[in-house]
Each structure stands twice: as structure tokens, then as C-alpha cells.
Amino acid sequence: MGREIAIDLGTANTLVYRQGEGIVFNEPTVIALNGSTGKVEFAGAEAWQMLGGPRGNRSVVRPLRHGVMTEFDMTQQMIAIVLRKIGVPKFPKPRVVVSVSSESSPVELRAVREAVRFAGGRNPVLVEEGLAAAIGAGLPIHEPVGNLIIDVGGGTTEMAVVSMGGVVSGRSVRTGGFDMDASIRDHFRTRYGVTIGERAAEELKVAIGAAFPTPDRMVAVVSGREIASGAPRKVRVTEDEIRLAMAEPVQAIVDAARQTLAEAPQELTHDVLETGMFLTGGGGLVRGMDLLLAQECEVPVHLTERPLETVVLGAGAMLDHLDEYRSSFQLVRRR
Ligand SMILES: Nc1ncnc2c1ncn2[C@@H]1O[C@H](COP(=O)(O)OP(=O)(O)OP(=O)(O)O)[C@@H](O)[C@H]1O
Ligand SMILES: [Mg+2]
């Protein structure tokens, strides 16, 4: 048994799984850069804490946008810091499985491989997030049946129909939980002339946001700043109002799920209609997301047990079978 590792480098959260141990790292995908050298000084929770507090001359950023590396150098340094934190040996170097968006371009895929090698990994194997999620959800992916998984992340939503060990069809849209936060912020600007922070918007979404009306009728009071005067201002909002404010990105996700179903091979659609779709990712935790998907797609929807961990658990499960399955687990679809 080796000490190979699996990485889910998400737009919102980075998770690392080590063979024989399970999840050994689970922190926000955030880095703090030194203002004069531009070097990454902190990554993960430490950098995240600086977002809201004193940070000296550092700038704090998210190095991924919509699931892909926008800042190659920074992402590379971030992976190196994460692997150092969990104590990856220089020799023998671990093998590394990395989950990637199915929308990644060849250039982006090469960048991920290079970043992992730079950080001290050997022979990086890339796996589509949809496939990793299906494995993590415990679906019978090797059987000749269709399994539909939908992973709503912070920056992307990946949908995949998996059968016979590979992704048969699917799509990915660059819409996720962060877009819901952005829509909520827009709503405060246009409706109240108030700006609220990214974190406030996310907290509000988690607290009272919903994709489908709930019987709870929650309300919240949010602190922001009046755009005209700069003065602090508190705004009271209702669940209904926030649900409508974030409806556009939510609907984009639902539409994509419907299209994925429509495009799935006929013989597999039948299975999906019967067993339903499996919902995962942090965005799957949005209240009523399962109900809305079930209503609009007319299939049963099951939320996985650990939505934020499903992808890395699936990529981690692959480590025990890397040689056996390597070819079928490689990124299968190319555009
Ligand atoms: N309880 C919750 N209710 C609503 N949204 C939540 C909840 N928990 C997490 N989220 C949202 O889930 C998103 C993060 O999910 P996840 O960690 O799966 O994304 P990621 O894998 O980092 O991103 P991606 O896969 O798009 O690259 C964030 O937008 C966050 O606000
Ligand atoms: Mg993800």
C-alpha cells in the first residue's frame, strides 16, 4: 500500500485525500500574496482568515475561476504549500490523482499536470470531476447502466452520465454557488443602493437562500454600506426575496441538467428515469435544490451523503486501482 494522494482543487475549496488515511486537507482555495515579491505566503485557511482582517501589504485572492486555473504560477505555489502542509515526502514522490473540470482545455490540463509535478507529485493522473463524483457517491459505475451525477460547485456545475467505467455524456456550465452570491449582491445594489461583501452574500445564501419555496419563511438582517453616502446600513430581507434574487444562476443549472438528460443515450436514459440523479457539491446543499431539480427534470433526486467531499473521496478511491483502471480513468472526453 503506497501513500498516493488525490486532490480536488475546487474554485471554492481544496481537498486532499491520502491513501490509507482519508481526507487530510480541507480548506478554502485562497492564497495570500506578498505585496512586494508577489510570492504566495499563505494558502488555505490562513489566507482565508486574512480576507476579513489585517493582512499587511498582502493581497488575498482566489487563484481559480470557474474551476480552472487563471493564475498558473499562483496555483502551482498553492499546491506546493498544501502538499508541504500535509507532509508529502520528497522521496519516494507520491502519485497524484487530480480531478479536473471536463471543460478544461488541453493547455489547462497540461498546466495542472505541470503544477502537480512542480509541487512534488509523480505521474499525475487527471480524472473528470463527474466521474470522480460518481465513484465518491458509490454509484455502480462499472455496470452497463446509466448513472447521472450533478456536481454543483462554487464556480462550475459538472453533469455526467457514467456507465461502464467512463463518462458517456455530460456537460459543464460555468455557473455555481459563487454566481448565486454575485446575484444576491447585485440585488442589494439595485434594490437598496447598498453594497454587501462577498462573504456576507455567501452567508446569507447559506442561512436563508433557497432554490424552491420552503415553509420556513425565514428573514435576515444584513449589514452593508450605502453606495451614495458610504454610511453603514442594515437591510432586512426575506427568504422569498433572496430566492428570487438568486433564481437566474439556479435556473441556469437546472436547464443544463435538463439538457444533459435530453442528450443522454436513449438506452441509459431509461435507467436514469428510474434511479434518478445524484446531486453533490456544496451548491447541492442550497435548500430546495433537490426539489427544484426533481420537479423540472421529472426524476427522483438524491443528495449524496457528504456533498462537499464526494469528489475527493471518489478520486481517493481510485488510488487503490490506478494500474488496473488507469486507461479507463484517464480524461475521456476531448473537445
Ligand atoms: N450549506 C450550504 N448551503 C448553500 N450553499 C453552500 C452550503 N455549503 C457550501 N455551499 C456553497 O457551495 C460552494 C462550494 O462548493 P464546493 O466546495 O463543492 O465547490 P468547489 O469544488 O470548490 O468548486 P468547483 O467544483 O466549482 O470548482 C460555495 O459556493 C458555497 O457557498
Ligand atoms: Mg468541485
Q: With 50 as the cut, is the pLDDT of residue 28 above it?
A: yes
Say how many Å lie between the CA of residue 283 and the centre of ligand 1.
Answer: 5
Query: Cβ contacts of residue 24 below 8 Å, gap of 6+?
Result: 16, 17, 18, 86
Q: With 70 as the cut, is the pLDDT of residue 2 above it?
A: no
Q: With 60 as the cut, is the pLDDT of residue 330 above it?
A: no
pTM: 0.95
Which atom of ligand 1 is nearest to 157's Cα?
26
Q: Hey, what's the cell of 112?
A: 495542472
Strand partners, 221: 236
Residue 103, pLDDT score = 82
Say how many Å lie between the CA of residue 282 and the centre of ligand 1.
Answer: 3
Confidence of residue 326 (pLDDT cuts 50, 70, 90): low
Residue 163, pLDDT score = 93
Q: Which residues of 245-279 are buried (b: 16+ CB within 10 A; e: fewer)?
A: bbeebbebbbebbbebbeebeeebbebbbebbbbb
Confidence of residue 335 (pLDDT cuts 50, 70, 90): very low
Say if ligand 1 is within 6 A of residue 177 CB.
yes
The correct answer on CATH 3.30.710.10 for the domain covering 5-131+311-329 is no
Every domain range in the chain assigned CATH 3.30.420.40: 5-131+311-329, 145-175+248-305
Say how many Å lie between the CA of residue 303 and the centre of ligand 2.
Answer: 15
Which atom of ligand 1 is nearest to 281's Cα?
18
pLDDT tens string 87-137: 998 889 999 999 998 888 888 889 999 999 999 999 899 999 999 999 999
For 231, counting Cβ atoms within 10 Å of its Cβ (0-12 exposed, 13-18 middle, 19+ buried), the class is exposed
Query: Cβ contacts of residue 119 below 8 Å, gap of 6+?
Result: 76, 79, 80, 82, 83
State the Cα–Cα distance between residues 35 and 54, nearest whole angstrom: 14
Residue 229, pLDDT score = 98
Distances 278 to 9, 252, 286, 310 between C-alpha atoms, Å: 21, 18, 14, 11
State the Cα–Cα distance between residues 172 and 169, nearest whole angstrom: 11
Q: With 80 as the cut, is the pLDDT of residue 331 above it?
A: no
Q: Whose CA is nearest to atom 20 of ligand 1?
A: 10
pLDDT tens string 159-201: 999 999 889 999 999 999 999 999 999 999 999 999 999 999 9
Say if ligand 1 is within 6 A of residue 28 CB.
no
Every domain range in the chain assigned CATH 3.90.640.10: 177-246
Probe ligand 1: pick from 205, 287, 311, max atoms within 8 Å of CB? 205
Say if ligand 1 is within 6 A of residue 154 CB.
yes
- CATH number belonging to domain 145-175+248-305: 3.30.420.40
Q: Which superfamily does 177-246 belong to?
A: ATPase, substrate binding domain, subdomain 4 (3.90.640.10)
Mean pLDDT of the region 39-67: 90
